Amino acid sequence: MAEVQQLRKGNVYEEGGNLWKVLDYQHIKMARGGATIRLKVRNLRTGATVEKTYNSGTRVQDVRLDSREVQYLYNDGDLYYFMDVDTYEQIALPKDVLEGVLDFLKDNAVVTLETYEGEPISVKLPTAVDLEVVWAEAAVAGDTANNPTKEVELETGYRMQVPMFVQKGDIIRVDTRTGEYVTRVQK
């Protein structure tokens, strides 16, 4: 059991037979009253997102997730297939388990699969990934005031803003937590 004020973004807990993942956490202190904890959570089995409010000191059942390294193989439109790097077992995951991951997932990438009692819950990416630019807007000559950016498309189909010097064919590092440009990588 854990108190709700110990929960943070990304934590998973069990309540009412459902697994909930914390998306946002707010600690609200009222004058002369007790503190309340407002959480924005996602039901990991149904995908529904709701807001829950708890009094400070309320206890919830914390969940310990098992994790293992898996390698992304391919998708067939509906399911995404991964291979356990230790046992070579293939695992098929639906698209909803991969929310926020598909923008940065490329073939043969090694990621962490989190499971609870054998049920796949989520996939965690490394903090940063290197991806190739497959399309880039043309830079406008003389447009250098106020840190200008332009739009590019990466090999995964993700579109983002980058500095003007990034060209088609460049490899760039992207922060997977924010989806922002980090640096250009030498080939």
pLDDT in tens, 135-168: 999 877 666 667 889 999 999 999 999 999 999 9
Structural domains present in the chain? 2-62 (2.30.30.30), 66-124 (2.40.50.140), 128-185 (2.40.50.140)
Mean pLDDT lowest among 28-42, 68-82, 160-174: 28-42
Q: What is the mean pLDDT of the chain?
A: 90
> What pLDDT does 143 receive?
62
> Confidence band (pLDDT; 50, 70, 90) for 71?
very high
Q: d(Cα 45, Cα 73) in Å, to the nearest integer?
A: 24
CA angle 84, 127, 14 (to 5 degrees): 65
> Confidence band (pLDDT; 50, 70, 90) for 15?
very high
pLDDT in tens, 107-141: 999 999 999 998 888 899 999 999 999 999 987 76
Average pLDDT over residues 70-75: 96
* Nearest Cα to Cα of residue 41 among 67, 66, 65, 19: 19
Tell the residue number behind the tokens 């708890």, with chain if given.
54
pTM here?
A: 0.79
